[in-house]
Structure 1
């Protein structure tokens, strides 16, 4: 009997690999002779590079580079290079250089943050010769419309007086014009994919600023300023490139990074979880399995918008596999999830304060106990025997 464990991380508690190890222990306690494979997963947000490197040890390598962080501090970022179908892909996680996790709560405010470091990561990959580049957009601390990223790639932006805008703070706020004459020429040889499951437009009430800037530290007045600046930038992009970013689904991802990648780098926006599924060759692993266990910290309405458990569940159902979901929290109103997963289980074994439940050792033990009981139930009901006979 073959089990595949393909969970996302349990946020603020366990990495995807750590959650997988705990689930494996539970399976083997109930079914010692089982074959178990751990396939850590992510949806394109924070932790995606780690998942790719741990899940593809024979075909992936990590490249470290020192770049600027969201407030122009020096940070070390790692991107992954994956060999697939005779071609190498550079996978760059924007959160490694522009992520909210890099800032203390008091430092978080998109009026002062930039994606310049992401541009430096891209530049490094391009200069090393990589021409297929995937950029994951989750977890950003920024709302600069990708202006900082473009500055690092050679674009020059100017204010109302015609002065070139510097690198400090959020450059979007001063933009009145730009030139791409000095953009690094190798970019024309590259194919860019922005991996994101955010479908928000570039600006407006459902756009980058009004939907996401608040959680990045902006107040109501600042949100309005950011939105107006994005409107102006969208017009500049349309005038220069003939691309209306407001019409592109996902252009508002990561504070407008999606729009900048589409307009200026001729990139396309793709589902984050589907991109990760392809890069990790998950479908091949699901074909080999009999039972698939997936999960994340919380199974809720956001899960239905392209998160790992739904992506994994769809594939498992496609190939006729048993698909089980586990989570720290389950939305009791979320009945639609059973279209993709045969059953879902909370790992909470007793009432605990959230801070205690998030402790890695406790979360791991709860996963182990829950998965053990799930497998015992499947065995007692004869489900696993039926699968084995098929």
Structure 2
């Protein structure tokens, strides 16, 4: 039997590679002679760098970058084993998790650090970039990223705009003559699992601003700023970002990636699974195992288990999913190709205890699933 193990990370406890390893260990206790292929994956959010480094024997690059409030922080990006592709998580520089709730301020938060990561990737020779844009603390329309790459955003007096979404209403002119010329040599894919427009009631500010610390008044200011920003991009660059799906992702970073970097936005799980050639790998499997921290009604919206299951179903392969927890609406994943799902938590416990015991729980659950398969196989033979 040939088993493909392709999980996402279990947030705050295990990387995707760790999950895959524990699943294999548990299965080997029952089926030591089966063939196991570990292919850690991700959906473009946290863990994407780790997954693609593990899949390609790549490496991690660390450097100082600006955090959302422009303070120095240790950032990182990944480089695949062949050295040709850089994998960037915008959250490594501009993520919400980098700021305590009391410090979150989308009027000032900047994506400048994301631009620094892009420039560093260009410096090492990467010309294929995969950028995951989940988990942002920003609402600046990607203005900071553009500034870090040489774009000048100028006010009426010819001065550079201050950082943050609150400054966008003062934008009078965009000068792209100084943008890093290496951008034109790049193929840039953006892992994006939302299709929000830039502005309006379903735009970046209204939908995502409050979780980043925006009050209702701030949401109005931010939305007005992004609307003005879109008009300037249209006037100075001839690019309409106001009406493009995904432009509102990551506080409008999607808009800047399209306007200044000519990037293509795609579902993150599709980018990752294409890159690791998961379709070809699964086509040779007898069984597919996947998983992530939580399976619920949101899993059908571009999350790893469903992405893996859809590939498996194209080849008629059975899929079993392990999860840290199974939440409301989990049954929605069944029509998408997941044949069985199991929570790895062994009993009532606190979240902290569950996180600490994650490796043991995944291993034990995998062993029990394998044992159940063995019992079923023996019963079929008996009858």
In structure 1, the partner of 2:210 is: 214
Separation in 2, partners of 1:34, 1:375: 11
1:43-94 deviations in Å (ceiling 9; x for gaps)? 111221111111211xx3333332212111222322223367xx92222221
TM-score by length of 2: 0.92
Q: 1:234 to 1:221 in 2, by over 3 A?
A: same
Separation in 1, partners of 2:352, 2:319: 29
Q: Which runs of 5+ in 2 are unaligned?
A: none
In structure 1, the partner of 2:71 is: 73
1:281-306 deviations in Å (ceiling 9; x for gaps)? 22233223221111111112221111
Within the alignment, does 1:192 sit opposite 2:192 as a pair?
A: no
How far did 1:156 drift? 1.1
How far did 1:204 drift? 1.3
Match of 2:355 among 345, 355, 358: 358
Separation in 2, partners of 1:384, 1:200: 51
Within the alignment, does 1:266 sit opposite 2:268 as a pair?
A: no
Q: Give 1:348-387 correspondences, 5 Å limit.
A: 348-359=345-356, 362-382=357-377
Asked if the contact 2:133–2:190 (Cα under 8 Å) also holds between the matched residues in 1, the reply is yes
In structure 1, the partner of 2:60 is: 62
In structure 2, the partner of 1:24 is: 24
Q: 1:169 to 1:200 in 2, by over 3 A?
A: closer
Of the structure 1 ranges 237-246 and 113-122, higher mean CA displacement relative to structure 2 is found in 237-246
Q: 1:222 to 1:170 in 2, by over 3 A?
A: closer
Within the alignment, does 1:204 sit opposite 2:215 as a pair?
A: no
Q: Give 1:337-356 correspondences, 5 Å limit.
A: 337-339=333-335, 340-356=337-353
Secondary structure, aligned partner of 2:80: strand
Count of aligned pairs: 380
Asked if the contact 1:114–1:171 (Cα under 8 Å) also holds between the matched residues in 2, the reply is no
Separation in 2, partners of 1:383, 1:62: 46
How far did 1:103 drift? 2.1
Separation in 1, partners of 2:162, 2:210: 25
1:268-324 deviations in Å (ceiling 9; x for gaps)? 111111111122222233223221111111112221111100111111111222101
Separation in 1, partners of 2:207, 2:380: 48
How far did 1:257 drift? 0.8
Match of 1:98 among 87, 94, 101: 94
Separation in 2, partners of 1:260, 1:294: 34
Q: 1:267 to 1:383 in 2, by over 3 A?
A: farther
Q: Which runs of 5+ in 1 are unaligned?
A: none
Q: Give 1:229-308 correspondences, 5 Å limit.
A: 229-308=225-304
How far did 1:384 drift? 12
Q: 1:171 to 1:278 in 2, by over 3 A?
A: farther
Q: 1:227 to 1:168 in 2, by over 3 A?
A: closer
Secondary structure, aligned partner of 1:30: coil
Asked if the contact 1:300–1:330 (Cα under 8 Å) also holds between the matched residues in 2, the reply is yes
How far did 1:142 drift? 1.0
Q: 1:50 to 1:274 in 2, by over 3 A?
A: same
TM-score by length of 1: 0.90
Asked if the contact 1:53–1:80 (Cα under 8 Å) also holds between the matched residues in 2, the reply is yes
Separation in 1, partners of 2:80, 2:17: 19
1:140-178 deviations in Å (ceiling 9; x for gaps)? 111110000000111111234443224578653543332
In structure 1, the partner of 2:323 is: 327
How far did 1:220 drift? 1.9
Asked if the contact 2:110–2:138 (Cα under 8 Å) also holds between the matched residues in 1, the reply is yes
